[in-house]
Amino acid sequence: MSLDTATVRRVASLARLRVEEADLPRLEAELNGILGWIEQLQAVDTQGVEPMAGGGAQALRMREDRVTDGGIQEQVLANAPDRAGAFFAVPKVVE
């Protein structure tokens, strides 16, 4: 499988990364280099192998369903690039 320019543009859009048109050929070549190298995995017989999702052998713990923090509005907002009172502010999204 190899990426064409249109796919690189689409993936960049999915990833919310602005890519200048002039950079697309370089990115396409780099990504295809990496994906071509990754292709060797297709040689491994994985018939019936359960995919390993996590990093540890242990099952995830359940925890009690209760509130463990809160009341830290100022801390939550402290690093906001823009805020309006007690809210994060963003450009207008509805007309």
**Amino acid, single-letter form, for residue 80:** A
Report how far residue 23's alpha carbon sits from residue 49's, in angstroms, rounded to the nearest whole number: 39
Pick one of 4, 5, 33, 73: the residue that binds another protein (CB under 8 A): 33
Report how far residue 12's alpha carbon sits from residue 27's, in angstroms, rounded to the nearest whole number: 10
Residue 22 interacting with another protein (CB under 8 A): no
Residue 66 interacting with another protein (CB under 8 A): no
Neighbours of 15 (CB within 10 A): 8
Pick one of 4, 6, 38, 73: the residue that binds another protein (CB under 8 A): 38
Per the DSSP assignment, residues forming a β-bridge with 88 are 83
Angle between helices 24-38 and 5-14 (to 10 degrees): 90
Residue 4 interacting with another protein (CB under 8 A): no
Pick one of 65, 82, 85, 86: the residue that binds another protein (CB under 8 A): 82
Binding site for another protein (CB under 8 A): 1, 3, 7-8, 11-19, 27, 30-31, 33-35, 37-42, 44, 46, 49-58, 60-61, 63, 72, 75-76, 78-82, 88, 90-93
